[in-house]
Amino acid sequence: MTTNNKALPVLAVLMAACFPTIEARAQTMPNAAAIDAEVKRLMARTNARGMAVAVVDHGKVGYVHAYGIRNAKGDPLTADTVMYGASLTKTVFAYTVMQLVDQGKLKLDKPMKEDLDKPLPAYGPDPVFPDKYGPYKDLADDSRWQKITPRMSLTHSTGFANFWFIEPDHKLHIHFEPGVRFNYSGEGFILLQFVIEHGRKAQGLGVDLGDLTRANFDRLGMTRTSLVWRDAFVANVADGWNDQGEIQEHDQRRKVRVAGSMDTTISDLPKFVAALVRGDGLSAASRAEMTKPLLHITTAHQFPPFLPDLPASEQRKDLYAGLGVVVFDGPQGHGFYKGGHDGQTANAMVCIEASQRCVVILSNDVRSEAGFADLVRFILGDTAVPYDWEYGDHAGKS
């Protein structure tokens, strides 16, 4: 069979019309005035007092704006107001871990026991809460801790609860065989932090996570972002509002806690998100590993913890844990997502890989969260972000 070469351009046009590319399916980005109007509608509908939004388009930070107020006095929330990063800290940490992997200082699938000089249960009290019951000695009679790897920590599959201190007996437990299923756990991230900070110096560990992350923040020009509180932040910091509309003071976290101690601004954080979606600062292999579908998520919601698996026919087939993010597929192709939440904070980061488009939301009013899905859809179009899974019962989050 022969092909008429003159017909090929016509055929290509017809195929493009019938089968648009993923890039073509990304909607035209709304302009700044339209985003402003949509955010103001969201805030009016949810009674939210403060909110900040940024958009990354084709890997570059574009729109950045803050709305509302930052405290009970009515001081304005600005693009440089320091806001609580909450669990978006976990994505920053995962990125930093992958830099250590690139440097040969960590291996994702090597049991972390091999990076320590003594068995984990032999270490002392909780590194962040030394006045409370220490967690690792609780594992002395459960040898499964020896199987836990950095990958398990970053995919929330260590078997730990979110935090040891929310367990009924205030002790650390492994609830299932490490690595077999997803259960959101800040405690797993804190274990990896402990290993990096207390591991063998001969292999390049025994380093401070505050210093490691600060190097990235400095490189990216994130001048008002830190994993520990700085007194310089006090002049322009956001307090928050809970779901009852009550004001809550900003917590000044004096110790690095990679599960959620980051303070940041809407001017700073999109610089990191843009670098992440572009792959800056990581090898191509490590960047790909972060947003690869690594562990299938089989529950109806993220919280409460230890939910049973849905029947196979009801499980979302594209929903997976990546490293420090949740990954999914939708009309615009592969994407990744991370939320951050506490009693007075609601944050979100959504990115679409093909177009390198992202939305970053920081809010100092937890009530705003009810409008996030609509806002992301307005800016990015239909993405299939897993909001129905994310916004289950938030009990136990921190």
Boundary (domain end) residue, out of 174, 204, 234: 204
Task: Spell out, as residue ranges, where the chain has pLDDT lower than 70.
Answer: 1-26, 124-134, 392-398
pLDDT for residue 8 = 38
Residue span of the structural domain in which 306 resides: 28-89+223-390
**Is the domain of 179 the same as that of 265?**
no
Q: Determine contact, residues 155/132, Cβ cutoff 8 Å.
A: no
**Is the domain of 189 the same as that of 236?**
no
**Is the domain of 176 the same as that of 285?**
no
Mapping DSSP onto H, E and C, the string for the chain reads: CCCCHHHHHHHHHHHHHHCCCHHHHCCCCCCHHHHHHHHHHHHHHHCCCEEEEEEEECCEEEEEEEEEECCCCCCECCCCCEEECCCHHHHHHHHHHHHHHHCCCCCCCCCHHHHCCCCHHHCCCCCCCCCCCCCHHHHCCCHHHHHCCHHHHHCCCCCCCCCHHHCCCCCCCCCCCCCCCCCCCHHHHHHHHHHHHHCCHHHCCCCCHHHHHHHHHHHHCCCCCECCCCHHHHHHECCEECCCCCEECCCCCCCCCCCCCCEECCCCHHHHHHHHHHCCCCCHHHHHHHCCCCEECCCCCCCCCCCCCCCHHHCCCCCEECCCCEEEEECCEEEEEEEEEECCEEEEEEEECCCCEEEEEEECEHHHHHHHHHHHHHHHCCCCCCHHHHCCCCCCCC
Residue with tokens 């809970």: 242
d(CA 50, CA 39) in angstroms, rounded, equals: 10
**Is the domain of 358 the same as that of 242?**
yes
Instruction: For 151-166, write each residue's pLDDT tens digit.
Output: 999 999 999 999 999 9
**Is the domain of 116 the same as that of 35?**
no
**Is the domain of 73 the same as that of 116?**
no
Q: Is residue 383 part of a domain?
A: yes
Cα 249 off chain centre by: 23
Instruction: For 193-249, write each residue's pLDDT tens digit.
Output: 999 999 999 999 999 999 999 999 999 999 999 999 999 999 999 999 999 999 999
Boundary (domain end) residue, out of 173, 204, 235: 204
Q: Determine contact, residues 321/327, Cβ cutoff 8 Å.
A: yes
Q: Is residue 353 part of a domain?
A: yes
**Is the domain of 142 the same as that of 175?**
yes
Q: Is residue 335 part of a domain?
A: yes
pLDDT for residue 249 = 98
Boundary (domain end) residue, out of 171, 204, 237: 204
Which residues are CB-neighbours of 260 under 8 A, at least 6 positions away? 85, 86, 87, 89, 90, 186, 340, 342, 398
Q: How many domains does the chain have?
A: 2
pLDDT for residue 6 = 42
d(CA 173, CA 139) in angstroms, rounded, equals: 7
pLDDT for residue 185 = 98
**Is the domain of 336 the same as that of 366?**
yes
Q: Is residue 260 part of a domain?
A: yes
Report the half-sphere exposure of 42 (CA within 13 A, side-chain side).
Answer: 28
pLDDT for residue 1 = 36
**Is the domain of 237 the same as that of 381?**
yes
Q: Is residue 143 part of a domain?
A: yes
Which residues are CB-neighbours of 143 under 8 A, at least 6 positions away? none
Q: Determine contact, residues 70/76, Cβ cutoff 8 Å.
A: yes
* Residue 232 CB neighbours (<10 A): 11
**Is the domain of 45 the same as that of 80?**
yes
Tell me, what CATH number does 285's domain have?
Answer: 3.40.710.10
**Is the domain of 310 the same as that of 384?**
yes
Q: Is residue 218 part of a domain?
A: no
**Is the domain of 37 the same as that of 179?**
no
d(CA 116, CA 118) in angstroms, rounded, equals: 6
Q: Is residue 4 part of a domain?
A: no
pLDDT for residue 11 = 38
pLDDT for residue 9 = 44
Q: Is residue 11 part of a domain?
A: no
